[in-house]
Each structure stands twice: as structure tokens, then as C-alpha cells.
Structure 1
């Protein structure tokens, strides 16, 4: 029997104001709007996809009973962390300073300021939150392949 495959397709975020969150994710972060569907006043699904991702996020009304702003550290992997951070800042997103794992060879959970000097995969980070506090972690991978 063949093993099934599993693919993360959608992450649902609870937001307090769908229109505000939609503008944040599309206009500031740069996600694509895939779906905005509301068959009645009690249900609305807005699906957004980060550029280059096969996993989308959904915001809306009647989608989840999770507390507003409760999602933490959703990873957005980028090939150039400095460029991604700069672009988000230019678009009005408050992004943390960059940091990198230290010591790299025997990482124990510590961080140092700035990009990893070797630009190693999975070693450099920055973070931001949406207006409701759902938090995102930018992580660099593939910089050396650019």
C-alpha cells in the first residue's frame, strides 16, 4: 500500500476586521487575493497567498473559533531576508531587526544581531505581526543559490 501524501494548503487566521486585514496582507505584505466569497452576512472567506507559496491563508467571518490574533510564528521563507525586510518596511510594515542563530555549529537557542555572516540556510530571521497580533517569522533559505 502506498503511503499517502500530506500537503498544508491553508492556514486560517482569526482577525477582528476583515477589510483592515485584507488591506494589510494585500497592500502592505504583498499577498495575492485568491478568493473573497460571502454568500450571507454570517460567513465570509478571503483567501490570500504569499508570492511563490503553495500554502495560502484565510481570513473572514465564521471560519474559526480561535481567539483573534492567536497564531504565532508562521514561517515565511525568503531567499533574501534583507531585501524582503526592506520591501516590507517600504510598504509600511513594522518589521523587527534581523537576527541570526549563534553559535551556528552548536545552536542552543541564542541569537546575535544581523544576518548570518555566511548567509546559511535557516539561520537568519526577522519578524512582524498583522494588526491583530498574528505573528510571522521571516526566515532566509537559498540566498547562496541566487
Structure 2
């Protein structure tokens, strides 16, 4: 039995501001922007190359509460440069050792080891995680 995660709801205070951030700065594809009256709006966006999308949900009480969403990338430096070039504040690359996060790349450049982080305007937190899968770059 297949079970595919295809949509994650991201709570935001201002849907238009979040839509602009994800579409214009983060480079996500806008799939749907549908309204049915003042109280119902669906804005769905998809990261480049992803099978999973996000849906922006207006909820001021929980805006910024989603943390740790991972965007898997083959070249973390290239994606970081593209995002910063679009105006996204992205952390420097870091990796984890026994004492916690450490600045810089993993010395062995292992898959699953290098990260960078950014947040949307509401504080929802994202991680870039480098996985080359068989040497892809």
C-alpha cells in the first residue's frame, strides 16, 4: 500500500505576504490561488522538483509554528546562493557533531550531513539538506 505525503499546511498571518515570499523569493511554483468568499482561500505552492506541496492557511494564532521542514538538495551551496540572490536570508552551511551544530561543511561531505536554514516572514522554519544520492551534484 502506497502512502504519499503530497501536501503540508503552513500557517501564516498574511496569505498574500506568504504567497509573495514563497513564489517570488523561494522560487516555489504557484499551483492554486482560489477564494470562495472572505473566509475561504486556498493557496498551494510547490518547491522546484518536489512531489510535495504546501498550502498556506491563514491562522494568526499558529503562524510560524511549523519548524524543521526539509528541502533536499543535491548542491547546497548553489541552492543557498540562488535563495540569497532572491532576497531570502539563509544561514551559512552547518553540520552536526556530538556537541551540536558546527559551522561549515561536514569534513567528509557525507550525504544527510550538511544543512542551511531559513524562515518565511512568519517564522515557519525550513532546512536545506544536502543529499547527492549516488554522487549527483
| 1:119 equivalent in structure 2 | 109
Match of 2:32 among 32, 35, 45: 35
Say whether 1:89 aligns with 2:84: yes
Take 1:76 and 1:109, find their aligned partners in 2: how far apart are those partners? 24
Take 1:94 and 1:111, find their aligned partners in 2: how far apart are those partners? 18
CA contact (8 A) 1:43 1:60 kept: no
Segments of structure 1 that go 5 or more residues without pairing to the other structure are 103-107
Take 1:58 and 1:18, find their aligned partners in 2: how far apart are those partners? 10
Query: Cα–Cα, structure 1 residues 43 and 138, in superposed 2: closer, same or farther, change >3 Å?
Result: same
TM-score (norm 2): 0.92
Deviation at 1:72, TM superposition (A): 0.5
Segments of structure 2 that go 5 or more residues without pairing to the other structure are none
Q: For the aligned residues, what is the CA RMSD?
A: 1.7
Take 1:109 and 1:25, find their aligned partners in 2: how far apart are those partners? 33
Take 1:116 and 1:142, find their aligned partners in 2: how far apart are those partners? 14
Deviations, residues 45-101 of structure 1 (Å, cap 9, x unaligned): 00000001000000144xx69711100010111100011111111110011111013
Length, aligned pairs only: 136
Of structures 1 and 2, the larger Rg is shown by 1
